[in-house]
Structure 1
Amino acid sequence: MPDNGSRNALDDEADEAAPVSLRRVLSLFAPYRHRIAAIAALITLGAAVGLTTPFLLRAIIDEALPKGDLGLLSLFVAALIGAGAVSAVINATHAILSSQIGQAIMHDLRVRVYGHLQSLSLGFFTHARAGEIQSRIANDIGGLQSLVTNTAHELARNLSLVIMTAVAMVLLDWRLALFSMTVIPIVVRLSDHVGQKREAYTHRQQERMADLSSTVQETLSISGVILARTMGRKDFLVRRFTRTSADVGALEVRSSTAGEWQWQLIYLLLQALPALTLLLGGWLISRDVPITIGTLVAMIALQEQLLWPLEEVLRTGMEIRTTRALFARVFDYLDRPVEIVERPDAIALPPERMRGAVAIENVSFAYDKDGEPTLRDVSIDIPAGSHVAIVGATGSGKTTLGYLLARLYDVDQGAIRFDGVDIRDLKLASLNEMLGVVTQEPYLLNASIADNLRFARPEATDAELVAAARAAQIAAQIEALPEGYNTVVGERGYRFSGGEKQRLALARTILRDPPILLLDEATSALDTQTEQAMSAALAALSKGRTTITIAHRLSTVRSADLIVVMKRGQVVERGTHDMLMAQGGAYAALLRPEEG
C-alpha cells in the first residue's frame, strides 16, 4: 500500500471530487416518491401552522392586552397552544416516515453496490484492495446515512419554512421584510464557498480512510500478522499506520473546519439582523411611519423563525456539497462495466442433457489488451467422461486457461464450448451446474464445516455431506473433532492444514455432483499418502465425469487420458504419459526434476 509521504501539503492534494449530477442522486429517492410527497405535504402543513404564531403574538400585544379582554386573550393563548400541539404531531409523524425511507434508501444502495461488485470480472478484484472495497461500502455509504435519513427531510422542512416565513414577513410589513432579505445573498455566497472547500477535503479524507482500512485488512489478518512477526516488521507497520491515521485526522479537521471563519461571519450577520431591524423600526417610528410595536415584535419573531431554518438550510447545503465526494466514490464503483454478462437469449442446458464435452478452439487471451497475450491459439478437445491434464512450468498459461473455462474472463479470440454450446451463449446458472472448480488456494467461510459444504448445495442432507467428505478423504478427520461437522473452521479456514482445506473444498465441489471437474493444483498441499488416497478417490469419481486437471506436480496426472503441455501460452505437446516420455521433449524435461 502506498504511503504517499508525510502529507505536508494536504491543501494541494485535496482535489475537488468529480461532479455528481443532482438528478442521479435524486434517482435514489425515486422509488419512494409517493411517500416523499406525503412527507412534503406534512412539512408544508406544519410550516403553515407554525407561521400562525407570530400573527397570534401580534394580536395579543396590539389587541387583547391593550383592551384588557381576558376572553380574547384566552382565545389567542389557546390558539397558540393548539398550533404547537398540531406542529408536534406533524413533526413526529414526518420524522418517523423520513427515517424509514432513509434506511430503505441506504439498504437499496448497499445491496446495489454489493450486487454490482459480485457481477464484476475477476480482473477488477486483482487490482482492487480488499480494504478499499470494504471502505467504500462501510465508510462511504455509511457517510451518506445522515444525508438520506435526516438531512433530506430537514432540508425540505427548513426550506419550506424559509419560503413561507419570507411570504409572511412581506405580508406583515414589506419594508422590514425587504431589509431582512438583503442579508440572504451574502450568506448564501459565503456558505457555498465554505462547502466547496470542505467537499475537496472530504474527498481526500475518504481516500485516506480507504488506505487505513486496507492497512488494517492486510496487516491484521492471520497471514499479515504471521508475516510481520516472522519478518520483525511490527514497528515499521505501526509507524506506517500512525502516519496514515495522522493524515486521516488532519483531513478530518480540515473537512470539518475549512472556512470556519466565513461560517462564523454568516452566524454574526444572522444574529445581528434582529438588532438592526429594531434599529430600523425605531428610525421609522421616529419618522412617524405607521408601524406598531406588535408589528415590530412579530417581525422579530418571524426573523427568528426565518434565521434558524435559513442557517440550517445553509448548513445542509454545505453538507450536501461535502457528501458529493462520497457519492462520487460510490457511483465510481457502480459505473464499473460488467464484463461477464449473460446474453438475453442465453441457452439453458437441463441437467439430463449435460454430457461434459469441452472444446477449446483457437483461444487467445491477454490480461492487458495492449500487452502480450497470455494464451495464443490454444486448441484442446476434451471428450465427455475423459481425464485431461494441462501441465507446464509457472507462467505457461495453464491457470489462465482454467479461469477462461470457469468464465471468470472471456476469451479475446476463439471459443470455448461446453456440449457444443459457446460458453458465452450459455446461461450462467447452467455453467455453474456443469462445472465444479477446486483451486490451489481454497477459500473457506468462517462458519461450520457443514455450512461450508452446504454453500455448494444448501438443500444437501447430512448423509450427503458425509458421503462427499468420504469421497474427498476428509471424513475421518472431521468425525474425530469434538463438534464434528458443526466445527467452525476459523478465519479463512486457518484451523485446518493446507491439505485439509483442499480436501474440504474438494468435498464441497463433489457435493454439487457436476459433470465436469476442474482441479487447479487441487492436490498441491497434500502429503504423498493422502495424495495417493485422493487420487484413488478422484479416479472413482471420474467415471462418467469429465475431469480437467491443471497441475504443476506431474506425479498426479500420469494416468490421464491426455496430457497437454503448455509453454509461454501455447500448446507444445500432447499425448499420454508414455508417449510424451518417449518423445523426450518438454514433458520429460518437466518430469526430470521430480524424479531426481
Structure 2
Amino acid sequence: MRAYADNDYPADHKPDWKLVAGLWPYLAEFRGRVVLALSLLVLAKLATVATPIALKYIVDYLDQTQAADMVLWIPVFLVLAYGGLRFGSTLFSELRDAVFARVAERAMRRVSLRVFEHLHQRELSFHLDRKTGGLARDIERGTNGISFLLRFTLFNIVPTLLEILMVAGILLVVFNVGYVMAILVAVVVYVVYSIKITEWRTQFVREANARDNESNSRAIDSLLNYETVKYFNNERYEAELYDQDLDNWEQARLKNRLSLAALNTGQALIIGVALIVIMTMAVREVASGEITLGDFTMVNAYLLQLFIPLNALGFVYREIRQALVNVERLFKLLGDKPAIQDAPNATELVVDNSEVRFEHLHFAYRADRPILQDVNFSIPAGHTVAVVGASGAGKSTLARLLFRFYDVDNGRISIDGQDIRQVTQDSLRSAIGVVPQDTVLFNDTLYRNLAYGRPDATEEEVHQAARMAHLENFIHSLPEGYNTKVGERGLKLSGGEKQRVAIARVILKNPPILILDEATSSLDSLSEQAILSALKEVSQQRTTLVIAHRLSTVRDANTILVMDAGRIVESGSHNELLAHGGYYAHLWEQQHRSDDDSEA
C-alpha cells in the first residue's frame, strides 16, 4: 500500500468539482432545515431586490410633488417600507444562517469522526510512514473546507446568481435592453477573469499548503524528540532546519499574496469600468427626460447592490477552490482502503483452548527483502514459547503477524484451528494481550492509563491490576497517587514503571493469549527481575509467545525457538539447547561473556 504523502498532487492539478455533489449525504440528515434555509434565502433576496424600488418611489415623489400638494403619510409610508425591506433582508439572512448552522456543524462532526475511525482502521505501515503534523493540518483544513463548501455554495453562489437574474429582469422591464446587456457583459467578463486567474493561483495555494505541512511536521517531530535534541546539543541545528522550512513556506505565501493582489486589482478594474459605462447611460437618459431621478437612483442602487455580492462571489470562488483542494486531500485519505480488512464472511473468533499455530509462514515487508521463510511451529494451550535470535532475525514480525498488523504472504496462522484472516479483527485482538518493548502512555492520569486495558473496569479492578503488576507501592509514594499526570508519551515515568503499567493493562484486559515483545530489553537487572516476576504471574494459565533478545529472560519457557535470517534453526528447552552446543549455546556464551565484562 502506498504511503500517504504530503504532496500527492502536481501543482497544476485541478480538483474535481464533483466533490461538491459528494457533500449531499451531509445535507440529507437535515433535509427540513435545508429546505427552510433555502426558503429564507429566497425571501432575503426578494427583500434585497425590492429595496431600490422603494427608494425610487421615495425620490420620485419628493422630486415631482410640490410642497403644497405633498401628502405627508405617503413618503412616511414609503420610508417605512424601505426600512422594513432592508431589515427584512438582514433578518431573513440571519435566520437562514441560524437554521443552517446545525447542518454545517454536524457535517464537520460527522466527517471528523469518520476520519478518526478511518485512521484507526489503517494498517501499521501507514502509521509508520505518516507525518503526523502534516496529516493533522490536512484533516483540519479538510473538515473546515467541507463546512465552507456547504455554507458558501448554497448561500453565496446561488443567491448571487439569483440576485443577478432578478435585477436583470427588473432592468429589462423598467428600462431598455442596453442596461441588461451592459450588466451581463460586465458579469461575464468578471466571472471569466476570476475563474482564469483563480485557476492560475491554485498552484500557489497548493504549494503554500505543502510547505505549511512540511514546517509543521518538522516542528512536531523535533518536539517529540526533545530529549534527543538535548543529548546532542542540536537546538540550533533544529532551529535552522525549521527556519529553512519556514522560509520555503514564506516564499510560497508571498507568491500567493502577490497573485491575490493581481486578482483583486483586475476585478476592481472590471467593476469600475462597468459602473462608469452604466451610470453614463443613466445620466444621459435623465438629462434627456427619458427616465426620472428616481429611476437614476434605482439604477445606482442596483449597481452597488449587484457588484458588492459579485465582488464577494470572486472571493467565495477563490475560497471554494482552496476548500476543494483541502477537501480533495481529505476525501483521498478516506478513499484509501485499509490494507488489512475483515473477510466478507468473517466470523467471531471462538477461543476454547487458545492453541496457536504458525504454519509454514512466508512474509516480507518488501518483495525484494524476505523476512520469514517457512516458519512452522505451534504453541500448545497454556504453554509458553520463546523466540530468540539476533536483531533482524524476524522475531517481532511473528508478534505483528499474530496480532494481524500484517497478513502473511504464504502459509497461515490459526487459533484453535481458526485462520485469523477468517475471523473479525476485533474478536482476534480482544483475545490477545500485548506487553510491548516500548510502552507509550497517553498524556493523562496514571489511573486512566491503567484503566485503558478495559475502560469499563471498576475502580477496585484497576487497583487490583496495579497490585498484581507490583505498582501499588510506587503509586502510593506519589503525592497525587493515581491522579498523577504521566506526561507526553509517559515520559515522567521510568522504563520499569511504564512496563508495569503495560502489565497491569494486560491483567485488566485478561486475554487468553499473551505476547511479550522484548518486554524487558531496555531495563536494568534489578527492574528486569521485578518485571519478570510480574510477567511470570501474568502468563500462568495463558498461551504465551515471548519475543526476547536477552536469553536469561526465557530460561523457564516450555520451548525456546532460535531464529536466524527468518528461519527456525533450533528448538528445545534451555538445557537441551545448551547441551546441543549449537547457535543457542553460542549466543548464551556471548551474552554471558558480555555480562561478565560489564560487571568487571
Structure 1 length-normalised TM: 0.92
TM-superposed CA distance for 1:106, in Å, is: 1.8
> Matches of residues 31-430 of structure 1 in structure 2 within 5 Å?
31-33=26-28, 34=31, 35-63=33-61, 65-67=63-65, 68-142=70-144, 146-149=148-151, 152-173=154-175, 174-221=177-224, 224-284=225-285, 290-349=290-349, 353-368=351-366, 370-430=367-427
Contact 1:449 1:485 in 2 (8 A): yes
Q: Contact between 1:388 and 1:548, CA under 8 Å: does it hold in 2?
A: yes
Q: 2:527 aligns with which of 522, 526, 530?
A: 530
Distance in 1 separating the partners of 2:406 and 2:421:
10
The letter for the 1-side match of 2:21 is L
Q: CA deviation at 1:284?
A: 4.7
Instruction: For residues 269-294 of structure 1, give each alpha carbon's deviation from its aligned partner in whole angstroms, at most 9, with x where no partner exists.
Output: 213323322322344566x6833333
CA contact (8 A) 1:436 1:517 kept: yes
Per the alignment, in what secondary structure is the counterpart of residue 374 of structure 1? strand
Residue 331 of structure 1, CA deviation: 2.2
Alpha-carbon separation, structure 1, partners of 2:283 and 2:218: 64
Q: Which residue of 2 aligns with 1:560?
A: 557
Separation (CA, whole Å) in 2 of partners of 1:111 and 1:256: 34
CA contact (8 A) 1:17 1:325 kept: no
Deviation at 1:241, TM superposition (A): 1.2
Q: Which residue of 2 aligns with 1:7?
A: none
CA–CA separation in structure 2 for the residues paired with 1:587 and 1:573: 8
SS in structure 2 opposite 1:381? strand
| Residue pair 1:391, 1:563 contacting (<8 A) in 2 also | yes
| Conserved? CA contact 2:189–2:270, under 8 Å | no
Mapped partners of 2:526, 2:352: distance in 1: 34
1:168 match: secondary structure: helix
What is the distance in 2 between the residues matched to 1:508 and 1:355?
22
Deviations 1:378-413 (A, max 9, x none): 111111101000111100011111100111111111
- The aligned amino acid for 1:32 is L
User: Quick check: 1:519–1:547 contact (8 Å CA) kept in 2?
Assistant: yes
Q: Deviation of residue 450 (structure 1)?
A: 1.0
Query: More deviation in 273-282 or 229-238?
Result: 273-282
- CA gap of 1:103–1:232, structure 2 versus 1, over 3 A, is same
Shift of residue 114, structure 1, vs aligned partner: 1.6
- Opposite residue 21 of structure 1, the aligned amino acid is D
- 2:330 aligned partner, one-letter code: V
Equivalent AA in structure 1 for residue 320 of structure 2: I
State the distance in 1 between where 2:421 and 2:570 align.
28
TM-score, reference length from structure 2? 0.91
Q: Which residue type is aligned with residue 348 of structure 2?
A: A
CA contact (8 A) 1:65 1:73 kept: no
Change over 3 Å in CA distance of 1:240–1:540 after alignment to 2: closer
Question: What corresponds to 2:11 in structure 1?
Answer: 16
Query: Secondary structure of 1:548's match?
Result: strand
SS of 2:444's equivalent? coil
Counterpart check, 1:581 vs 2:578: yes
Query: 2:193 corresponds to which letter in structure 1?
Result: L
Q: Distance in 1 between matches of 2:530 and 2:283?
A: 101
Shift in CA distance, 104/252, structure 1 to aligned 2, threshold 3 Å: farther
Query: How far off its partner does 1:366 sit?
Result: 1.3
Helix, strand or coil: the match of 2:369?
coil
Q: Is the 8 A contact 2:20 2:149 kept in 1?
A: no
Amino acid at match of 2:291: I
- In structure 1, how many angstroms separate the alpha carbons of the residues matched to 2:263 and 2:430? 63
Please name the residue that 2:597 is paired with: none
1:131 aligned partner, one-letter code: G
* 3-state SS, counterpart of residue 241 of structure 1: helix
List alignment gaps of at least 5 residues for structure 1. 1-12
Partner of 1:9: none
Q: Is the 8 A contact 2:148 2:323 kept in 1?
A: no
Question: Match of 1:440, SS?
Answer: coil
> Contact conserved, 2:26 with 2:103, CA < 8 A, in 1?
no
Deviates more, 1:464-473 or 1:188-197: 464-473
Range with bigger deviation, 97-106 or 406-415: 97-106
Task: Give 3-state SS (helix, strand or coil) of 1:526's partner.
Answer: coil
Alpha-carbon contact 2:465-2:507 (below 8 Å) kept: yes
Instruction: Note the C-alpha offset of 1:53.
Output: 1.5
2:240 partner letter:
R
**Taking structure 1 as reference, are residues 447 and 237 closer, same or farther at Cα in structure 2, changes over 3 Å only?**
same
Residue 476 of structure 1: how far off its partner (Å):
1.8
In the superposition, relative to structure 1, how do residues 480 and 149 fare at CA in structure 2: closer, same or farther (>3 Å)?
Answer: farther
Look up the match of 1:508. Answer: 505
Kept in 1, the 8 Å contact 2:441–2:449? The answer is: yes
> Secondary structure, in 3 states, of the residue corresponding to 1:519?
strand
Report which stretch shifted further, 152-161 or 552-561.
152-161
The CA deviation string for residues 32-67 of structure 1, in whole angstroms up to 9 with x for no partner, is 242223212211111112111122222233346413
Q: Shift in Å at residue 157 of structure 1?
A: 3.1
- Give the Cα separation in 2 of the matches to 1:484 and 1:17: 57
User: Which 5+ residue runs of structure 2 have no aligned equivalent?
Assistant: 1-7, 594-600
Which deviates the most, 209-218 or 139-148?
139-148
Find the residue that maps to 1:138 and give its secondary structure.
helix
Taking a change above 3 Å as real, the CA distance of residues 453 and 14 of structure 1, as seen in their structure-2 partners, is: closer
Quick one: distance in 1 between partners of 2:552 and 2:47? 85
In 2: Cα distance, 1:106 partner to 1:593 partner: 59
Counterpart contact for 2:385–2:558, Cα < 8 Å: yes
* Deviations, residues 3-24 of structure 1 (Å, cap 9, x unaligned): xxxxxxxxxx995364332232
Q: Which residue of 2 aligns with 1:4?
A: none
**CA separation in 2, counterparts of 1:505 and 1:91?**
56
Q: Which moved more, 1:584-593 or 1:447-456?
A: 584-593
Distance 1:198 1:309, change over 3 A: same
Letter in 2 for 1:231: F
Match of 1:28 among 16, 23, 29: 23
